[in-house]
Structure 1
Amino acid sequence: MNNSLISIIIPVYNSEKNILETLKSVHNLSYENYECILIDDGSIDKSKNIISNYIKDIPQFKLISIDNSGVCTARNIGVEKANGKFLLFLDSDDLLENNFLNETFNNYDNWTDVVATKVIFFGRSSGEYLPNYFNINDLLHENKLVITCLIEKDKFLDVGGFNTNMKDGFEDWDFWIRYINKFPNVRIIETTKFYYRLQQKSRNRDIDEKKETLLRFQIWQNNFKLFSKEFINPKLTFEYKNIRNSLEFKVGRFLMRPIRFLLKK
């Protein structure tokens, strides 16, 4: 597995503002045995021209253009074209630390199915996230991983890739449910960072309550056999956590405190 080829797959749709920074982030990686496959998903801005101009003298980069089909189809096509034993999905506005491939690859062994890293949020707000140990039951409650983790191509294909019926969001979560259910060994490292850009407007941020309900129902339909075998504790779901952390819940609990005290007497 020494110095294995890693295929970085970047779907691109109208990303002219940030794609150049992302390309430079990949080009500056210290690990040299990689290929970068960009799938232009029918962009109507200058993304394609920016990419073409930047990669014209860099043989490790390849641009493929398709009609607009959504991120799931774009990523799946990228995998079809990939030559690497390993895959790394990267969105067109996110960034990798210089040593990202070295560190994730060096921490991948025969026990490992996924290498995840610390996530640094930037853009409209900042913060960081390091995944903790979790199992498939935890993952059914809420997503625990960003899509930019190192995995093996054969394992990706084994679980069927990205489900193209998740066109409006949550496709990463749906994928991880199927992947972790079959390949559960996640190694979490702090020796490198993935930089996740939080946009003012994004597909996931624009999901309203009705759409979120439909997407969660679609995830249940896609994985109903697994959901039927696992007990889902509603107090662990992110909906419940959102309610408990809401101002309305805290105010209501404060107002109810003297009433509960009287009822106990």
Structure 2
Amino acid sequence: MLVSVIVPVYNVEKYINDCIESILNQTYINFELIIINDGSTDNSEFVLKEFAVRDNRIKLLNINNSGVSYARNFGVKKATGEFICFVDSDDIVKPDYIKDLIDSADIVINGFIIEEVLNKCTKIVIPKIDCFKVDVQEAKILDNIPLLCLSSPISKLFKKSIIIENDLEFDENINIGEDYVFVLNYLNFCKSISFRKKTNYVYFRRSNSLSTSYKKVEEEILAEKLIFFNSINTFEHFGYRTSHIIPLIYKEFSKHAYRILFSIYNQSNGYSKKKRVSLINNIEKTQYERIKKMFKYNGLKGNLISLLLSKNFIYFSDFLFKAILK
């Protein structure tokens, strides 16, 4: 079976060589490598052209800078493989990455390794058990797969037919949470699933990556809503009660509560005190209460922030937030 490996690229000349080499060195050789150069302004395109000349499995596509979601969607449309997997351009994969994903299930989910570059620490994220092609309704996804495993399209195998027939796309309007929403939407159309405790994908978390940079507060608020409500809808579809789902979301995605406040108190935004307080007060009530509860899953500091998020003394809290949220 032909697998289409999709790699969006934007200004990663420092890392792209290792990424592409790791893909070309796969033990499973029946794949096409679709690289979408998303308007890079560094030397990434030059490096990619050299690779394209070397290996005829590479399809190099150049587009104007449109964002990672557009690039992935574009790559899916150009893919000719029956199955699709994704690799980020500043990550690497081990030689058995594709081989260990091969399965006839509608979706295959494997684990991955997170390398914290600045903190110099490693985290392994894996399903709790190995499970080979079972009915997705019987797979007990929430019990056996950490939500972090679902938060990205990496280390997964998708069927192109399911993506195309159901008009599934990465949301091009947001840059945070769109990966998780895509995976959840895809799961809704799956009848079978496989997941394994394999860790053939190495994800490098760097300070300037999309996942560690903060967006406009409006985008962070929208992302949190999409994550929360898509989680509820998907896992209710799999038979879970809302009372079971919500605590897991609060715990696993509590970082989005921080993201919203950081986007308000980020010094580069230069908001005045009046503007900061206004932005907090304008968060709709149900989301505001959700954010407060999320902070309670973040130890003493989180509990303090939750307490300070009382709208009765938000003007006083603003001073403390500036000190806490550096």
TM-score > 0.5, shorter chain as reference: yes
Change (3 A) 1:247 1:182: same
Matches within 5 A, 1:101-116: 101-105=98-102, 108-109=103-104, 112-116=105-109
CA shift for structure 1 position 236: 2.3
Q: Deviations over 1:44-83 (max 9, x none)?
A: 1111111111221210011100011111111111111111
What residue is the counterpart of 1:92 in the other structure? Answer: 89
Separation of aligned partners in 2, 1:188 and 1:72:
25
What residue is the counterpart of 2:123 in the other structure? Answer: 127
What residue is the counterpart of 1:257 in the other structure? Answer: none
- Secondary structure in 1 matching 2:224: helix
Change (3 A) 1:129 1:249: same
Paired residue type of 1:101: I
The answer to whether the 8 A contact 1:35-1:60 is kept is: yes
Matches within 5 A, 1:59-208: 59-105=56-102, 108-109=103-104, 112-122=105-115, 123-124=117-118, 125-132=121-128, 134-135=140-141, 144-145=149-150, 146-148=152-154, 149-183=156-190, 185-207=192-214
Separation of aligned partners in 1, 2:111 and 2:126:
5
CA shift for structure 1 position 184: 5.3
Paired residue type of 1:243: K
What residue is the counterpart of 1:23 in the other structure? Answer: 20
- Secondary structure in 1 matching 2:111: strand
Moved more, 77-86 or 214-223: 214-223
Moved more, 122-131 or 37-46: 122-131
Among 212, 215, 224, the residue aligned to 1:216: 224
Separation of aligned partners in 2, 1:129 and 1:222:
22
Separation of aligned partners in 1, 2:200 and 2:231:
31
Change (3 A) 1:216 1:248: closer
Separation of aligned partners in 2, 1:165 and 1:6:
24
- Secondary structure in 1 matching 2:26: coil
The answer to whether the 8 A contact 1:30-1:98 is kept is: yes
The answer to whether the 8 A contact 1:10-1:92 is kept is: yes
Q: Deviations over 1:131-166 (max 9, x none)?
A: 346548999x95542312111110121332323344
Separation of aligned partners in 1, 2:206 and 2:51:
24
Separation of aligned partners in 2, 1:218 and 1:167:
10
Separation of aligned partners in 2, 1:137 and 1:70:
34
Separation of aligned partners in 2, 1:7 and 1:14:
22
What residue is the counterpart of 2:33 in the other structure? Answer: 36
The answer to whether the 8 A contact 1:6-1:34 is kept is: yes
What residue is the counterpart of 1:248 in the other structure? Answer: 301
> What TM-score results when the alignment is normalised by the length of structure 2?
0.66
CA shift for structure 1 position 222: 7.7
The answer to whether the 8 A contact 2:127-2:197 is kept is: no
| Cα RMSD, aligned residues only | 3.1
Give the share of equivalent positions with the same residue, in percent. Answer: 27
CA shift for structure 1 position 249: 5.1
The answer to whether the 8 A contact 1:118-1:194 is kept is: yes
Among 239, 244, 247, the residue aligned to 1:235: 247
Change (3 A) 1:241 1:14: same
Change (3 A) 1:134 1:224: closer
> What TM-score results when the alignment is normalised by the length of structure 1?
0.80
Structure 1 regions of 5+ residues with no counterpart? 253-265
